[in-house]
């Protein structure tokens, strides 16, 4: 299938998984490649994604079931008419039922297939049974109609409930690929929060990583740069699940090993 556009969606219900944290690395990677993108922010409690990228991310309010369906109809109508090759949707916690219902009732996956648009689901396995059941339900709903990126976040899930499970085997059989979020120290995350308070606005990872911008001191900006480069290499290796066909680089570097001494150090990720 020649995919003409990509829609990235993290529909999982559980919060505090690092979903917005990962999405910030991903859009920085798109910017590095020069791939045009825009986005939608469904986290009506924080709107962090929209506040970091005011010019290209639109916020939506999810209310009750009817209001949410209306909002999601507006969102997907906009996305399907959009010319940008990649659209990134960041969601709030506990919205998966509303999103799946809207995808189903509006026949979004069917319409996307007709237009050669491919969705990529970002799934965050944890060591909690209910959360894993949620991942399983999303997989059973979408099947081979979407692609899957499994995001491991050692700072949030330290158990092995997913690893070696039948669910992992099924996802791999359907072409799922995995990435692992790097830990970022609490010192750096607190410094980013202080920088945002000083700037009176949210700051993207690309902004705080620029030493010359002066948002963070040299060592802390360097840690953000390190984390971004670690994620960029992983995104390069799974570019076929993230980009339209014509924008996939001809050469993909070898997959970088995800275990190293620094990965075992304590770290935190932003909440959602």
CATH code where residue 129 lies: 3.40.50.300
Residue 192 located in a structural domain: no
Contacts of 64 (CB under 8 A, 6+ apart): none
The token duo for 156 is: 């949030």
Lowest mean pLDDT among 87-96, 177-186, 201-210: 87-96
Q: What is the pLDDT of residue 13?
A: 64
Residue 95 located in a structural domain: yes
Looking up tokens 């959360």 gives 131
Q: What is the pLDDT of residue 163?
A: 82
CB-CB neighbours of 206 under 10 Å: 19
Residue 212 located in a structural domain: no
Q: Indicate the pTM of the whole model.
A: 0.86
Answer with the residue of higher pLDDT: 39 or 45. Answer: 39
Strands of the sheet containing 177-180, edge to edge, are 57-59, 37-42, 86-91, 5-9, 117-123, 147-152, 177-180
Residue 171 located in a structural domain: yes
User: How many angstroms from the chain centroid is the CA of residue 14?
Assistant: 14
pLDDT digits (tens, 9 = 90+) for 195-222: 999 988 888 988 999 888 899 999 999 9
Q: Are the beta carbons of 12 and 19 closer than 8 angstroms?
A: yes
Range of the domain at 57: 5-183
Q: What is the pLDDT of residue 162?
A: 81
Residue 164 located in a structural domain: yes
Contacts of 81 (CB under 8 A, 6+ apart): none
Residue 31 located in a structural domain: yes
Residue 78 located in a structural domain: yes
| CA separation, residue 132 to residues 123, 138, 146, 147, 167 (Å) | 10, 10, 18, 18, 9
For the chain, what percent of residues have pLDDT higher than 70? 88
Q: What is the CA radius of gyration of the chain?
A: 18
The token duo for 172 is: 């791999």
Residue 243 located in a structural domain: no
Q: What is the pLDDT of residue 19?
A: 86
User: How many angstroms from the chain centroid is the CA of residue 200?
Assistant: 25
In angstroms, rounded to a whole number, what is the distance separating the alpha carbons of residues 154 and 181?
7
Number of domains in the chain: 1
Q: Are the beta carbons of 89 and 7 closer than 8 angstroms?
A: yes
Answer with the residue of higher pLDDT: 168 or 128. Answer: 168
When mean pLDDT is compared over 16-20, 124-128, 162-166, 188-192, the highest value belongs to 188-192
What is the average pLDDT value for the chain, to the nearest integer? 85
Give the number of residues written for the chain.
Answer: 272
């Amino acid at each position: 299938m020649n995919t003409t556009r990509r829609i990235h969606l993290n529909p999982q219900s559980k919060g505090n998984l690092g979903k917005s944290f990962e999405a910030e690395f991903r859009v920085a990677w798109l910017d590095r490649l020069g791939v045009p993108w825009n986005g939608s922010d469904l986290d009506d409690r924080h709107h962090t994604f929209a506040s970091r990228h005011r010019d290209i991310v639109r916020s939506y309010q999810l209310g009750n079931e009817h209001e949410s369906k209306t909002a999601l109809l507006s969102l997907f109508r906009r996305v399907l008419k959009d010319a940008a090759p990649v659209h990134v949707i960041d969601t709030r916690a506990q919205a998966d039922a509303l999103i799946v219902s809207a995808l189903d009732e509006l026949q979004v996956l069917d319409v996307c297939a007709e237009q050669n648009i491919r969705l990529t689901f970002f799934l965050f396995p944890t060591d909690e049974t209910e959360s894993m059941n949620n991942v399983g339900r999303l997989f059973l709903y979408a099947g081979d109609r979407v692609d899957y990126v499994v995001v491991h976040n050692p700072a949030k899930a330290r158990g092995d409930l997913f690893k070696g499970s039948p669910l992992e085997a099924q996802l791999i059989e359907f072409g799922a690929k995995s990435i692992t979020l790097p830990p970022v120290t609490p010192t750096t995350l607190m410094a980013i929060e202080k920088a945002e308070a000083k700037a009176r606005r949210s700051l993207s990872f690309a902004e705080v990583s620029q030493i010359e911008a002066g948002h963070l001191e040299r060592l802390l900006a360097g840690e953000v740069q390190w984390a971004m480069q670690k994620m960029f290499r992983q995104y390069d290796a799974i570019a076929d699940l993230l980009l339209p066909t014509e924008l996939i680089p001809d050469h993909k570097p070898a997959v970088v090993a995800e275990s190293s001494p620094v990965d075992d150090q304590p770290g935190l990720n932003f909440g959602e």
